[in-house]
Amino acid sequence: MESILGNFIKSTPLFSFNTILDENVGLIRLIYKKYNDKDIFDFTSIEKEPMSKLVSLVYYKPYYNPLKLFLKDKSKEDFIDECYQEFLETKEDEIIAEGVITEIANLVKSFKESGDVNPTVYYYNKYQKDALESLPHLRGIHLVDFKDVDIQEYSQLYLRYYYELLMFEKFSHRTIYLASDEFNKYALDQLFSEEFEDINSMINNLNKVCIFDIYKSNIVKKENLYVSTDQSNNE
């Protein structure tokens, strides 16, 4: 993994909490178990299915809000967006408890054990910090509050979502790794459009962008995605 800054700082990758634990999967599992309003949601596509099916479905969603995957009435998308934000703000501890640990936790551990790489993971709040501290994969890993991150200390930045870039001050000469899901790929494909002007400005400030997988290929497979309700009705 070469850094455009050379050997001096190539061993200081910074990982977002969201690359370590999948809260989208956690949210779906939480709502299915405790808040399943059958007038709003249809979870029949994930019932009695292995976890890998749900992980694949959420990973390849084309939009921000995973709840839309199970929304019965598409006219209620604005309402479901409000629900999504409310759950993240008020139920994150429960969401994290249902979340799935990604393969990146093992990658961070391997980096640390190599002795040549000094990884750091940043978090956004207390619930996320507590979750990171509880993972055996991350023993001895440097954890830092997002507000205390000095991006100049790191040569690689691993992010789950492209919009996390906007939380940093503008930087340059860094390698940015984005998870290889449909949501990020769409943003990169539309990078020069007005919609993504801010992201384009960040990325094209002498930075390099790469795509990386947060799950093993045998876990997330496009061919294992569920057929949507709309498609089923049209067949």
Domains of the chain plus CATH, in order, are 13-21+102-212 (3.40.50), 23-99 (no CATH)
User: What number is the average pLDDT over the span 178-187?
Assistant: 90
183: pLDDT strictly greater than 80:
yes
Q: Which residue has the tokens 């001895």?
A: 140
Question: Is 70 exceeded by the pLDDT of residue 1?
Answer: no
Average pLDDT, the chain: 87
Q: What is the percentage of the chain residues whose pLDDT exceeds 70?
A: 90
Given pLDDT bands bounded at 50, 70 and 90, which one contains residue 2? very low
Please say if the pLDDT value at position 5 is more than 80: no
- pLDDT(132) > 80: yes
* Side-chain half-sphere CA neighbours of 100 within 13 A: 21
**Closest CA relative to residue 100, chosen from 164, 46, 162, 52:** 52
Spell out the residues 6+ positions from residue 87 whose beta carbon is closer than 8 angstroms to its own.
Answer: 27, 30, 31, 95
Does residue 226 register a pLDDT over 50?
A: no
Whether 170 shows a pLDDT value over 80: the answer reads yes
DSSP annotation of 208: E
- Calculate the CA 152 to chain-centre distance: 23
Q: How far apart are CA 11 and CA 154, in angstroms?
A: 8
What is the reported pLDDT for 26? 97
Regarding pTM above 0.75, the answer is yes
